[in-house]
Each structure stands twice: as structure tokens, then as C-alpha cells.
């Protein structure tokens, strides 16, 4: 913990211990994301940070509103109730207070939501990385097991191979449970499988537990899973290429041919009507095309499997 996290924990840590059941999903996300920050410390930091950010935003926007007299710029055209008319001389003060409270709630709430959602996002990133590197990690495990290395040492070696990304992190946690906490291999596999964000990794570890418990040949199990995940990986790549082809056709149709048709049509209509300010044409050129292209880029980036 850094000094700020320690301060937050000393301030609110005792109260956060009673919220473990209420924030069960957050606890699971912290474990899946492999955050080293304990739950009580993280939640305390989230609350204090939200209050601090909300107060800073409230002070800045409130001061900005008061100095520039922003509430005076708001003009209501209509019948105003009598009590509100009596408050009109204090409109700047009331408006500044309203802006301050609104800023406190909005910016504080956004900060708190980011803290709550971030572990889930990080766990999702780890899941994609594990799924992408798992076939290659299992090939490595199979090679080591075929050479006669014990299962515990196999996972220890995998943990020392950073080229396998987050699979190496999961293997290091298995080795940690064995070497530091003195658990046997089955217990270590069970604990890591319960907290890993990847369903494929969970299935692989649970299968390894079943194979060890039943006295089966673990090397044969590794070899079978390596072939299975290699086949699934090829199918996933083929499916992604098919989807990418569909997206490219959609982009050409919507963002190239479609916008070109709209530009030509709007240009002809502007000439015929004598309109010197074709707002729709500007919207197509400066909004639809850039935002549509960015949307396609974001969509493809989110769908692309990690290499």
C-alpha cells in the first residue's frame, strides 16, 4: 500500500470490513484481476477518492460559476411562481450552490463508478489474454511433462516463462500456493481455478485436478487439451476473419458508397433550392464520416483476438 491507500484504510477500513458480502462481485473481480490491493483498502480508497474528486470539482466549478456570474445567463421566459420571484435577487448565489452540489454528486459518482468497474475491466483484459495464449502455454506444459518433469515443477517453469502472458501469472499463483503456503498441487489448482477469469483456464485446471485425483496419465491429458485448444484457436481465427470480411463490406457500403450518395444527393438539392448553407451536408462530412469511421475502428479493435 502507498501512503494514500494507508490513510484511506485507517480512515474507513473498519467500516469496509462489514461490506464484504455486499460487494461480493467486486471482491471476485479484484481476485480475477490479480490486484494486490486488499478489498477493504481498495473500497476505502474508492470512497475517499470519490469524495476528494467531487469536492475539488465542486469548488472549481462553483468558483467559476460565481466569478463569471453564470446563473444570470439563464433566462426563463414564462410565468414564474411568486416564491421564485422573491428569490430572484439571490439567483447567483442559489445557482452557484446548485452547480456546486451537482458537481459534487456527478464527479464523485463518476469517480466511484470508475473504481468499481475498473477491476472488472482488467479481469476481462486478463481473460482475453489467457484465452489467446493458453494453447501455446499448454504446448509448453505438454513438452515439459513429456520430458519427465513433475507437474508442480511444470507449472513452476511455466510461471517463469513471461512469453505466455497472463497464463504465466496464473502458473506463478499455483507455484506460490505450493511453495509459500505449503498446499499440495490439487489444492493449488483448485484455488487458482476458482479465481481465474478465463473459463478455458478454469476447465483446463479442473481437468488436471480430476486427472491427478483419478491417477490418470497427466501427460496424455495435457496432450489432448493441447490438440483441442489448437483446433479451437484455428476455428476462432477463421470465425474472426469471416466477421472481419463482413465488417469491411459493411464499411464500404455504409461509409463509402452511402456517404458518397448522400453528398451527391444533398449537393444537387442545394443547387436546385439555392441553399447556401447546407447543414445536412456539413453533418455528413464533418460528423457522420469521422464518427462512423472511429466507430468501425473501435468495433474491430474490441473484437480482435490478442496475439
158 with 137: CB under 8 angstroms? yes
CA distances from 148 to 71, 74, 140, 212 (A): 77, 79, 13, 15
pLDDT at 182: 87
- Closest CA relative to residue 137, chosen from 200, 220, 216, 217: 200
Q: What are phi and psi of 82, to 5 degrees?
A: -55, -50
pLDDT at 75: 56
Dist. CA 288–CA 307, nearest whole Å: 32
221 with 207: CB under 8 angstroms? yes
CA distances from 81 to 85, 87, 93, 98 (A): 6, 10, 19, 19
First-to-last CA distance in the chain? 33
Q: What are phi and psi of 221, to 5 degrees?
A: -65, -45
Dist. CA 100–CA 188, nearest whole Å: 52
User: Which position has the grid cell 506444459?
Assistant: 141
Mean pLDDT for each consecutive 10-residue tract of the chain (307 residues)? 83 81 87 89 91 90 74 53 50 72 89 92 90 89 88 90 90 92 90 91 91 85 87 84 89 88 83 74 85 88 68
For the whole model, what pTM was predicted? 0.73
- Which residues are CB-contacts of 154 (< 8 A; sequence separation ≥ 6)? 141, 144, 145
pLDDT at 212: 87
pLDDT at 69: 67
pLDDT at 111: 92
pLDDT at 205: 92
Amino acid at each position: 500500500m502507498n501512503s494514500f491507500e494507508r490513510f484511506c484504510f485507517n480512515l474507513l477500513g473498519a467500516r469496509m470490513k462489514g461490506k464484504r458480502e455486499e460487494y461480493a462481485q467486486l471482491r471476485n473481480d479484484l481476485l480475477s484481476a490479480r490486484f494486490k490491493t486488499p478489498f477493504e483498502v481498495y473500497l476505502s480508497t474508492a470512497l475517499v477518492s470519490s469524495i476528494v474528486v467531487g469536492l475539488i470539482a465542486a469548488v472549481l466549478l462553483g468558483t467559476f460559476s460565481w466569478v463569471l456570474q453564470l446563473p444570470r445567463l439563464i433566462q426563463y421566459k414564462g410565468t414564474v411562481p411568486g416564491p421564485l420571484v422573491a428569490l430572484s435577487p439571490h439567483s447567483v448565489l442559489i445557482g452557484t450552490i446548485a452547480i456546486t452540489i451537482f458537481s459534487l454528486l456527478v464527479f464523485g459518482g463518476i469517480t466511484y463508478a470508475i473504481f468499481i468497474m475498473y477491476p472488472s475491466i482488467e479481469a476481462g483484459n486478463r481473460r482475453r489474454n489467457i484465452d489467446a495464449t493458453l494453447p501455446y502455454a499448454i504446448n509448453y506444459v505438454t513438452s515439459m511433462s513429456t520430458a519427465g518433469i513433475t507437474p508442480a515443477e511444470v507449472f513452476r517453469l511455466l510461471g517463469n516463462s513471461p512469453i505466455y502472458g497472463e497464463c504465466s501469472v496464473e502458473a506463478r499463483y499455483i507455484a506460490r500456493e505450493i511453495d509459500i503456503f505449503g498446499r499440495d498441487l490439487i489444492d493449488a489448482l483448485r484455488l487458482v481455478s476458482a479465481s481465474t477469469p478465463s473459463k478455458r483456464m478454469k476447465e483446463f485446471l479442473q481437468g488436471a485436478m480430476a486427472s491427478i485425483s483419478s491417477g490418470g496419465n497427466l501427460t496424455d491429458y495435457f496432450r489432448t487439451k493441447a490438440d483441442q485448444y489448437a483446433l479451437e484457436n484455428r476455428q476462432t481465427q477463421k470465425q474472426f476473419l469471416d466477421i472481419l470480411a463482413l465488417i469491411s463490406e459493411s464499411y464500404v457500403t455504409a461509409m463509402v458508397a452511402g456517404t458518397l450518395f448522400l453528398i451527391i444527393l444533398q449537393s444537387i438539392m442545394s443547387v436546385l433550392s439555392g441553399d447556401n448553407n447546407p447543414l445536412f451536408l456539413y453533418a455528413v462530412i464533418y460528423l457522420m464520416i469521422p464518427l462512423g469511421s472511429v466507430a468501425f475502428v473501435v468495433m474491430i479493435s474490441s473484437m480482435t483476438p490478442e496475439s
